[in-house]
């Protein structure tokens, strides 16, 4: 009887561990709020609510992507990273957001080293 009890406890523990791992994999990367929110304003990718979840809309082309609910935020991060590699430029203590014709749209001041590290890690610039 004792073996059955421990087998049941082990199964419950295994399900909790598997659920925790799945939840960790579905979470997007941590971001530096101030700099990310300032850059996000110029990103062409926005979230749109729908009956079954969220849709990612490219505001420039109108193209909509409907990934599975668990993957929406991860896909949005991927799209923002791709956009950032070609539309963001770091120079000394500021980030320059570039338009489609490589014209400067806005310059955002980098306040801390954490923000600079975030730009390198997240956008790869």
pLDDT value for 2? 81
pLDDT in tens, 16-48: 999 999 888 888 888 999 999 999 999 999 999
- Using CA atoms, how far residue 101 sits from 42, 45, 86, 104, 106, in Å, is 14, 18, 11, 9, 14
pLDDT value for 22? 85
pLDDT value for 65? 93
What residues in the chain have per-residue pLDDT under 70? 1
123 within 8 A of 77, measured Cβ to Cβ: no
pLDDT value for 80? 94
87 within 8 A of 116, measured Cβ to Cβ: no
The closest alpha carbon to 100, from 48, 46, 57, 61, belongs to: 61
pLDDT value for 70? 81
pLDDT value for 1? 59
Q: Can you list the positions of beta strands (E) in the chain?
A: 45-50, 53-58, 64-65, 88-91, 94-98, 104-109
> How far is Cα 104 from Cα 89, in angstroms, rounded to an integer?
9
pLDDT value for 82? 94
pLDDT value for 34? 94
First to last CA, the chain: 60
């Amino acid at each position: 009887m004792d073996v059955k009890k421990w087998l049941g406890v082990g199964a419950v523990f295994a399900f909790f561990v598997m659920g925790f791992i799945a939840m960790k994999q579905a979470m997007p990367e941590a971001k530096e709020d101030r700099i990310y929110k300032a850059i996000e304003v110029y990103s062409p990718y926005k979230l749109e609510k729908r009956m079954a979840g969220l849709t990612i809309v490219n505001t420039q082309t109108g193209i909509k992507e409907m990934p599975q609910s668990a993957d929406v935020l991860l896909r949005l991060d991927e799209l923002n990273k791709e956009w950032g590699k070609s539309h963001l430029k770091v120079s000394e203590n500021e980030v320059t957001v570039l338009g489609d014709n490589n014209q400067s749209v806005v310059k955002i001041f980098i306040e801390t080293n954490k923000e600079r590290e975030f730009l390198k890690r997240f956008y790869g610039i």
